[in-house]
Structure 1
């Protein structure tokens, strides 16, 4: 008996939605509503392209140089983004999570971050995908099983699809006042700035067409509704659309227009818009190095942390 390249396959169906989950990385492999893609999919027998749809833990985004100081100790992580020299998207992106519960509308998977060089804490992680009338909701819950406090962060990595048109033609709304400026070569954090610093590139507080701008930046100071949720929306010229909303546990969101270094000839180039709610800023493990609140979560021994987000049709 062979195993699918992307791991154990799970398909959920309800309320007009169909979600395919792959156990490797607890990844969202595809999501459709009435047959229309809401995310850029990949095949069950395909090695997941990059981190498309993966669950990121115990940190999202980057740890610059893979090096950080926590509790007065220095740590060095493996450099998993070699072209920029960083540790990228945590330690569970390529782990084969275990499916522990589920039905037609939901599935729960678990994995453990084992204590190791560079991250000497044992953290149990559980994620649940659930379909409802409002779309696909994912929650991630982490529990520190170590004797010492552990740094923690998480987030998803979907590439949203508004409709049949090109990304450049989609209308984008992003309720964020502040962008994290980064170095152009390595995307290392520099500091916070108003989105008005380069409004054409960064300011989407009022819905407008994306056009040719290239973005690979984190945003914060999110504008939320009465329930504390922030929502990003994308609309195709045909009138179809998609939204991603998240709760107060995610104070940041990374936006990436999926520009590939190979250029327009690459099939994944600008194929979707990466919208990644994050509990913390890029390089939050180096929290003490920044003059702004990174949102780093510190899990006390035995403590748990839970956060969630929802993708829905528009």
Structure 2
């Protein structure tokens, strides 16, 4: 179903990764789950832990214009008529190298009618005392400039309490407003005075979020961080580099009888939703050039 599973162990941390989508299946600290896990022998639910490339989030109607031509991608989010989370999430990534604490997987995207570009993707996981560190490197193997974006798709777990009781710290000044029906971009607005303002840590409560945030505060070393804490005192954090100026947050809201608000999706993105159409922060990967994005997940 999901190919081979790889296990990493370092001190109090353990991680499990499957070939399908290069997905992070489980991450624990002192036997506590830091992400919502999934069954390795069943289809991956809700894109948990996958790598979304060569675009993150969704593309309206699965169509975009490139070099004067309109290209059409498969619509895998039928209810919203969008192309969601790229082309690599359903691929079986191949093992390149591994050890007790490191793992390298590869995936190649060949020419297709909707994405006529050849990319080589390398996914590197490293587990140490600071948590799980991930790097995705994209190489353009073709002769044409390729539109590109990437993000991870973990659902973070702060602790045993319901998500509504977790405290969120999110250092973003703005968020992308979206249409209610299709979650397509309308424009950015300031978080100040809005329920999405988590610059000062506060309880999530009943707030529903499925939006991209930007104008993110990066440290002097070029790192941004988000932290989610449980009332019990446990927590989980995620950090990323400046190559991802956007951050999608989703409170995993589901209608009954589906399991609701199981975890907080945190997705550092190199570009916003529908960037293939807007061009905003879109990576234009030149022939033979390389792009790299990094992020980490850690216990707090």
User: Could you list the per-position Cα deviations for residues 262-295 of structure 1 after superposition, in whole angstroms to 9, with x for gaps in the alignment?
Assistant: 23x322x10000000000010010125xxxxx21
1:295 and 2:291 correspond: no
The CA deviation at 1:103 is 0.2
Report the CA distance between 1:143 and its aligned residue.
0.3
| SS at structure 2 position matched to 1:196 | coil
Aligned to 1:219: 213
Q: What root-mean-square deviation, in Å, do the aligned CA atoms of Structure 1 and Structure 2 show?
A: 0.9
Counterpart secondary structure, 1:140? strand
Counterpart in the other structure of 1:312: 298
Identify the match of residue 253 of structure 1 among 247, 255, 275: 247
> What's the TM-score once normalised by structure 1's chain length?
0.94
* 1:241–1:313 CA contact under 8 A, matched in 2: yes
- Tell me which stretches of 4 or more aligned residues in structure 1 moved more than 4 Å: none
| Aligned residue in 2 for 1:291 | none
Q: Which residue of 1 aligns with 2:33?
A: 37
Secondary structure in 1 matching 2:45: coil
C-alpha deviation, 1:224, in angstroms: 1.1
What is the distance in 2 between the residues matched to 1:195 and 1:69? Answer: 32
2:258 to 250, 266, 269: 266
Which of 186, 199, 206 lines up with 1:205 in the alignment? 199
Total equivalences in the alignment: 300
Partners of 1:44 and 1:220 in 2: CA distance: 33
1:50 offset after TM fit, Å?
2.1
- Segments of 5+ residues of structure 1 without an aligned counterpart are 289-293
Instruction: Report the Cα offset of residue 70 of structure 1.
Output: 1.7
SS of alignment partner, residue 276 of structure 2:
helix
Identify the match of residue 93 of structure 1 among 64, 89, 92.
89
Q: Secondary structure at the match of 1:286?
A: helix
1:15/1:131 contact within 8 Å kept: no
Corresponding position: 1:239 with 2:230: no
Task: Give me the TM-score of the superposition, normalised by structure 2.
Answer: 0.98
